[in-house]
Structure 1
Amino acid sequence: MKKKRILVAVLNWGLGHATRCIPLIEALITKGYEPILASDGAALALLKEEFPNLVAEDLPSYNIEYSKSPNLLKWKLFLESPRIIQAIKAEKDHTKLLVEKYNLNGIISDNRLGVHYKHLKNVFITHQLNVLSGNTTWLSSKLHQNYIMKFDECWVPDLPGSKNLSGMLGHMRKTPEKVKYIGPLSRFTKENLPQKYKIMIILSGPEPQRSFLEKILLKEFRTTTEKTLFVRGVLGEHNPIAEADNTNLILKDYILGKELEDMFNSSETVICRSGYTSIMDLSKLEKKAFLIPTPGQFEQEYLAERLENLGIAPYCRQENFKISELKRLKRFSGFRDFRFVTDFSSLFTLFEGK
C-alpha cells in the first residue's frame, strides 16, 4: 500500500521551528506516512542532518534580517512587510508545484504562512495565537489570526488551561474551534546521567544577535573554573572563533540528535535564549536554567519575565549579563515536565479523509 505523503514545511527563523518538528516528523514515519521536508537556510540544513533519508525541498526564503538595534526590529519588519508578503506569495506558488510533484496528501506548516493548498487538508503549527509587538499587539495578533483561519486546523504545542508554558501567547479569551492543544513538543527524553558539565550554554536565533551574545558569554566564561559546554549553534559556513585556552570551557559549533540529548541530561544548569522551543525542551528535561531573551523580541522577553515571576527560572537582559548573575539560580525551582502525551494517531486522522 502506497504511503500517504505529508509536506512538513518549517520557518527558518533560528533553529527552534525545525527542532520542535523533529518529534512530529518521527511520529509521521512511525504511523506509516512519508514526510516530505521543506524549508530554507539553516533550518533545512538541520532537517537534512536529522533525516538524511527523507526528501527535502528548498522553499523561497523570507530573508528576514535582524536589526542590530533591538528597538528598531518591529519597524524594520514593518518596512520589510511588502517583501515578506511577496515571499509568502512565492511559497504559495511553490507549494502548488510540490503538491503536483509529489502527489501530496496533506500539509503541516510550522509558521510558513503561504504553505497551504485548498484541495488538501492543511495544518498550521504555532504557539503564537497572539503576536506581541508592543503597542501594536492588537494589530499583529489580528493579522496572524486571519492567516491561521485559512488552515483547516491550528495545532498549538502547549496545554489548554491555566497550567501551561506559553501564557497569553498561545491562549485567547475564546479558543477558536479549529485550534487544538497538542501538548509541548520536544525531541528530547529525560535520563538520569552522571553530571559531566556544571553549565551548558546553547545559543540559537537569528544574526547578528546570536553573535553579540556569543561574544558576551565567551568573555564571561573565558576563565571559568566550572566545567562548561558552550554550543555556538551555527550550521554550515560561518566565521570560526578561536579555540578556548581554558580546559574547563569546551566549544562546539553544534551538536545534534542523541549526543545533544545526552549533553543536556549530563549538565546541571542550562544558559539559553527564552525561545519557546527551548522552554519546551527545558520542561521535558526538567532542567534548571538561566534565560537571556533576544533583544527586541517581545515574545522572548514576555516568556522570560513570566517564568521568572512564576519562580521557575531567572533571566536578565543580554547587555547586563555577568557570570555573577548565576547566583540567583538557587532561588528558583527549575522546570518540570507536564507528562502530557501527544495523541498523534488522533491528530493524523485529519489526513485520512477524502
Structure 2
Amino acid sequence: MKVLVAPLDWGLGHATRCAPVVREFLEKGCEVELAVTRGNAAILREMFPDVRQRLAPSYNIVYPKHGYNMAFWLLKNSAHLNAVMRAEHHYAEEMVERHGYDILVSDNRFAFRSRKAKSVYMTHQCRIAFPKMFRMFEAFGAAWHASVMSRFDEVWVPDVPEFPGYAGKLSHVDSCPRPLKFVGPLSRFSMLPDLVPATQSAAKDLDVVAVVSGVEPARSRFESRLRSVLSQIPGKHAVILGKPASSQKCWTEGNVTFYNHLPTREFAEVVSRAGWVISRGGYSTVMDMALLGAHCIFVPTPGQYEQVVLAADLSAAGYAVSMEEDALTVDSLKGALQRTDVVELPRFTGNALLSDAVTQILRRT
C-alpha cells in the first residue's frame, strides 16, 4: 500500500503532528512518502531521513502585522488561497496518476485529495472560531469548511472523543458532513519510547524555556519580545528559535542560551529541565507540551483566534497561564512564574485510536 502524507505549511506544527501518522503507516508495512514545501522539508527530513519527499505547492502565508487585520487579510488574499487550492488539487491528482498512491493524508491542506485514492483530511478545528466582532461570519466559515471536508473520504481529528479533550469546542462539534474519527492527540515526541516527562525530571536547572514558532512577521516579533523580557528576569533561561532550516547553533547572551533549532530528542531534554515553558498556543504545541509534562504559559499569535480560544480554555481549567503578546512584560512574566495553581496538562499515552484508524482505512482500500 502506497501512502502520501501532506502537511499544511502554516508554521511547523502541522508537519510535526504528522510524525505519528507517518510512523503508524510505516509500522503497518506501507510505503510512505511526504509532500513537503521548502518551509517544512527540513524538519520532516530530520524525523524521517529515509522517507522520500516530493515538493508540493506552498500557501506562502505571511500574517498581517496587526492581528485584528486577519479577517480583512483573508478576504484580500482569498484569490491567492483559492489559486493554491486549485494547484494542490491538480498536484494531488497528478501524483496519484504518476506514482500510484492508494491513500492521501492531508493535514489541513484544503484540496489535497484525489478521486482515484482514499483521501483523508486531518484537522482539530472542525469549528473555525471567530472573534466576537466577526462572530456574524462564523456560520459562513463553518459552511465553507464543511464543504471542504465533504470532498474527502474520511475526517480524522487529533483529539480524544470525550469532551472537552484538548481542543474543546473546536474539535467536538454537533454536526459534520463526514463522520469524525478521533485519532488521539498527535505529537512527534511520542516517537521517543524512553521519554522522561518534565514532571519526573530531577534536573531543573532552567527557569524558563521559550519556544518560538509560527510564520513571519509574528515569529520574529515574538522572538524580539522574549529576548527583551527574559534578559531582565533573574535566573537561567533558554530560547529555542524554531529555525530547522538553519544550522544547529547554540550561543549565550547574558543569562539566556539560544538554540537555532533542536532535534526532537534534544528539544524534549531541554524542556524537561525547565520550570516553565513559554510558547505560542497552537494546537500542535499544546499536544507536545501535554506529552512532555510541561508547565505552560501560552501567548497566542495575534490574529489566530483559534490559539486565543485554546489558551483561554486551558487557563480556565488550570492547565496553563494565558497571556496576550502585548501584555508580556517583565512584571507580568514574574507574576506568572510565581503562580502555584497551575498544573501540567493531562498526559495521553498509548495511542490505540490512531492505530485503529490506520488499520481500518487499509482494510477498506
Distance 1:142 1:175 in 2: 10
2:165 aligns with: 164
Deviations 1:230-265 (A, max 9, x none): 001123369x9995431x311011112211122222
2:227 to 209, 218, 224: 218
For these two proteins, the number of residue pairs brought into alignment is: 349
2:344 aligns with: 334
2:15 aligns with: 18
Equivalent residue letter for 2:318: G
Distance 1:200 1:16 in 2: 18
Distance 2:128 2:78 in 1: 15
Listed as ranges, the gaps of 5+ residues in structure 2 are none
Deviations 1:191-244 (A, max 9, x none): 033224221110111110111111111011124432211001123369x99954
Deviations 1:288-338 (A, max 9, x none): 111100001110011111111112111111011023334333221231214
2:218 aligns with: 209
Listed as ranges, the gaps of 5+ residues in structure 1 are none
Equivalent residue letter for 1:313: A
2:101 aligns with: 104
Following TM superposition, by how much is the alpha carbon of 1:352 offset from its aligned partner in structure 2, in angstroms?
Answer: 3.0
Distance 2:288 2:235 in 1: 23
2:179 aligns with: 178
Following TM superposition, by how much is the alpha carbon of 1:183 offset from its aligned partner in structure 2, in angstroms?
Answer: 0.9
Distance 2:52 2:220 in 1: 31
Following TM superposition, by how much is the alpha carbon of 1:122 offset from its aligned partner in structure 2, in angstroms?
Answer: 0.9
Alignment of 1:45-60 (within 5 A): 45-60=42-57
Quote the RMSD (CA, aligned, Å): 2.1
Deviations 1:108-147 (A, max 9, x none): 1001111111121111100010111232222112201110
Distance 1:259 1:242 in 2: 12
Q: More displaced, 325-334 or 25-34?
A: 325-334
Q: Contact 1:129–1:171 at 8 Å: present in 2 too? A: yes
Q: Contact 1:271–1:289 at 8 Å: present in 2 too? A: yes
Distance 2:328 2:206 in 1: 20
Matched, 1:122 2:130: no
2:189 alignment partner, SS class: coil
Alignment of 1:277-316 (within 5 A): 277-316=284-323
| Distance change >3 Å, CA 156–CA 324, structure 1 → 2 | same
1:37 aligns with: 34
Following TM superposition, by how much is the alpha carbon of 1:182 offset from its aligned partner in structure 2, in angstroms?
Answer: 1.0
TM-score by length of 1: 0.93
| Distance change >3 Å, CA 345–CA 296, structure 1 → 2 | closer
Percent of aligned positions that are identical: 29
2:268 to 257, 261, 264: 261
2:324 aligns with: 317
Distance 2:237 2:61 in 1: 32
TM-score by length of 2: 0.90
Q: Contact 1:23–1:185 at 8 Å: present in 2 too? A: yes
Matched, 1:72 2:72: no
Following TM superposition, by how much is the alpha carbon of 1:177 offset from its aligned partner in structure 2, in angstroms?
Answer: 5.1
Equivalent residue letter for 1:353: R
1:245 to 242, 247, 253: 253
Matched, 1:92 2:89: yes
